[in-house]
Structure 1
Amino acid sequence: MKVFLWMGCLSYFLIGLAHVVIGSLLPDFLAYYGKDYTAGGQLISLQFVGFLVGVLSGPWWSAKLGKRGALLLALCFLSSAELVFAMLPAWGLVLVIAPFAGFGFGMIETVIGALIMQAAEEEHKAAMMARVEVFFGVGALVMPLLASMFIAEGWWRGAFLTLGLFTVCMLLLWWFLPLGVLRERMQRGYEPTVATDMVRKGSMGVFLLFILIFLLYVGGEMSLANFLPSILVENFGASSEIGAISVTCFWGAMAVGRLFAAAFSRKIGYSRYLMLGSAGFCILVAGLAVTTGITLAFGIIILLGLAMSGMFAIALVYANSFFPGAEERTTSVLIASGGIGGATLPLLTGWSMDTLSVSWSLWVLVGFAFLMLLFVWVTSRMHRRALETVTS
């Protein structure tokens, strides 16, 4: 189990790198191809369409190839896509390749997340998910820093090459390393389960709300992560190198916050933790929209990372607690709903930055954050009623 946990952490580190590499390079990437932010939004959206396909097809691939086989397939797709990006092919080929990258890190995320939900003891699930999410944050922190260094050296495509080679290393590790007690489970595929009493007694409404929460959260997170450099360049006159560092600050705060997310959420309750995070997301993005100083903007970005740090992991554990025995299906659907948000909201953000302004684009994100807060509040009330129904 210990080997698997560290492999899961390294894999989430890889996912963090892959999630933000395009956003970290976006101003230079678009300038090289002579494209606008709408085209950038299309590129990010296509990557998350692939992410959605990878997440939804993960159980099917697991059934055909086993979980280890599904991970190896995903790593093949991701490494190939990033190495092609490093070659700077024609824009049309970039758009074709983007979904394959998303497919790779989408399947990795859902397979490992489901394994943690299935294999970990109930009291350790939040801590394990928070730990792997820390590594996701570290990866998302490191990539913009690497991108900034490559940009400063005038060879920004090196970020794609670095990511592609690291993915090849992960492929070899998953192929050859022993997995101890999880070896048999890794060879098995998806195991269908029956609906629990919670589902039969009306909690599908709660599940639908969680789908919306994941859609809004991941969409908002990816919009910020991918467009923060462009926001600082356009709104505050920062250089592209400084803009890339803003994403490092955001994910650095995310990584720090996730170290304490599990303990804090257990102390105040999962629903309260999610409401606090949603409220912080809403208020801080509004602050970013009205501020004019770049120093204050960086402070807000760090607070944003802290506020949002544990929301994904805690929401995933919270949702799975409603549907014991259906962890793989629940995890797959919820991560997929996040993929839909990651595909659609950055597209809307890129369009609004081109047609409206950066400030108006931030206010659109404020609206989505408010909706997420509302859905979390309604979910907590529906969950309480569902529990009363089950125990009555």
Structure 2
Amino acid sequence: MQTTSRSTLAALCCIAMLLYSVYLGAVGVLLPYLGTAFSLGAEAQGRLFPANFAGFVVGVLLCGYLSDHWGRKAVLLIGLAVYAGGLLLFGSASSYALALAAALLVGAGSGAMEVVANALAADLYPEKRAFLLNALQVAFGAGAAASPSLCRYLLTHNTEWRTLYFGLAGINIAVFIVLSLCRLPRSERHEALELAALRAVLQKPSFALLCLMQALYVGAEVSFFSWLPTYFEGRLPGGTAWMAGVGTLFWITMTLGRFALGGLLGRFALLKLTALCAGGGVVFSALALVWQTLPPVLLCVALAGLFFSGIFSLVLAEAGERFPRVAGTAFGGVVAAGGLGGALVPWLIGALAGGSLGWQGALLLVPLSLVGVLLLSLHLSTELSTAR
């Protein structure tokens, strides 16, 4: 069997990221349908996030480590299989408890896919590592941008919500088959998560702060795009027509922002760029919730996406700069921390929305989380300047 070209393997890594983002991007549109199907309130719907991201964290930590021992391809195939199995189980779930168990599997599979696809892409093109990693983030953004509107269109044209899960699982199985037939180059390198090195890195206060920054950011991002459709449908005058479009708008500007970020890297300190992005995210996510007129709210959502776009990769890059000898370990730890934030903050917002705060008050946790990112980035920047 001939070795598969590096470009084909890199494309499969991008497709794996896109498949994960399609699921995640459509969650906000699907939540009301799940609520109707299983007779759930906002707090119960929000339990989907802890289930999904708990599995995600396990997938990141375990499969990053295993890919060092079993190889990238084998573990990526496991991730694709678990992800497809979780989607099939979710689509056939007869109770919400079973759906939550399926979400755990979906999270574990997607966590494995994310960490191993990034590692494999970096191994394939070590001379173009930054370019490939950014390409994977662009693929993620493209899937997340397309899926809300596509999902809404299908749901409003007599497609049952369960069919969407079965369809995505089918595409995932097709990618699994293609990848299983591929043969990786002999030069495949292994630079993934090592648990022993992770324990050593965890002793560094700066690493803990970077993990906290990522947890706050991912929690804010997932909450914003996942709960906005519910907020638009029930609380914003004229917002129902934009229930799906708001997610697409947010991810379009997120993707454009990631393209633009490439031109700024190297010109400004990473933490200063992080502070700028977090500050802009605070302002525009808050304004999107304060205003009650549709056009300015949509403008603020778009601008919020533009500023949100760089934070995830900037925090990862800062971790790589601070811990260059264990960059793979640092990446794995920071991504896992982001998964914890993605589990807790959206669930908390769903729980608070059912009380006196309502959706508008509960969603203010998004800009508050970004305030934490802003303050921590300024603190670490000052600490770094003092050390020099």
Q: How high is the TM-score relative to the length of structure 1?
A: 0.89
Stretches of structure 1 lacking an aligned partner (at least 5 in a row)? none
1:129 matched residue in structure 2? 133
Q: How high is the sequence identity, in percent, across the aligned residues? A: 25
1:92 is aligned to 97
Please say if residues 237 and 293 of structure 2, whose CA atoms lie closer than 8 Å, have aligned partners that are also in contact: no
1:54 matched to 2:55? The reply is no
Cα drift, residue 61 of structure 1: 2.6
SS of the residue corresponding to residue 325 of structure 1 reads helix
5 Å-filtered alignment, 1:1-392, equals: 1-116=6-121, 121=126, 124-157=128-161, 158-180=163-185, 182=187, 184-185=188-189, 204-238=204-238, 242-355=242-355, 356-386=357-387, 388=388
Do the aligned residues in 1 keep the contact of 2:288 with 2:298 (CA within 8 Å)?
A: no
Give 1:171 deviation, angstroms: 1.1
Q: Could you tell me which amino acid in structure 2 is paired with residue 20 of structure 1?
A: G
Aligned to 1:228, the other structure's residue is in SS state helix
Structure 1 residue 239, shift from structure 2 partner: 6.1
Distance 1:227 1:156 in 2: 21
| 8 Å CA contact 2:277, 2:311 repeated in 1 | yes
Aligned to 2:3: none
For the 8 Å contact 2:87–2:168, the answer to whether it is kept is: yes
In structure 2, distance between residues paired with 1:344 and 1:190: 24
**2:374 partner amino acid:** L
CA deviation digits over 1:82-134, x for unaligned, max 9?
12222352222111111000001111111233445566557x44433222111
The root-mean-square deviation of aligned C-alpha atoms, in Å, is: 2.4
Cα deviation, 1:318-354, whole Å, max 9, x if unaligned, reads 2112112312211111110000000100111101111
Q: Is the 8 A contact 1:134 1:258 kept in 2?
A: yes
**1: CA distance, partners of 2:193 / 2:386:** 31
Kindly provide the CA deviation profile for residues 262-292 of structure 1, in whole angstroms up to 9, marking residues without a partner as x: 2223323322221111001110111012101
Is the contact between residue 21 and residue 160 of structure 1 (CA under 8 Å) also seen in structure 2? Answer: no
Q: Alignment partner of 1:154: what SS?
A: coil
Counterpart CA distance in 1 for 2:283 and 2:197 is 41
C-alpha contact 2:83 2:109 (8 A) present in aligned 1:
yes
State the AA in 1 paired with 2:324: P
Q: CA deviation at 1:24?
A: 2.2
Say if 1:130 and 1:261, in contact at 8 Å, map to a contact too. Answer: no
How many correspondences in the alignment? Answer: 380
Letter in 2 for 1:297: V
Judge conservation of contact 1:74–1:108 (CA < 8 Å) in 2. Answer: yes
Work out the CA distance in 2 between the residues paired with 1:10 and 1:373.
32
Q: Separation in 2 of the partners of 1:193 and 1:153?
A: 52
The 1-side partners of 2:104 and 2:195 are apart by 28
TM-score if structure 2 supplies the norm length?
0.90
- How much has 1:180 moved relative to structure 2? 3.3
C-alpha spacing 1:16/1:205, structure 2 compared with 1 (3 Å): same
What SS does structure 1 have at the residue aligned with 2:244?
helix
- Deviations 1:15-69, CA, capped at 9 Å, x for gaps: 2112223222111221121101101110122111111111111233324532211
Residue segments in structure 2 that go unaligned for 5+ positions in a row: 1-5
Shifted more, 20-29 versus 342-351: the winner is 20-29
User: Using the alignment, how far apart are the partners of 2:115 and 2:383 within structure 1?
Assistant: 26
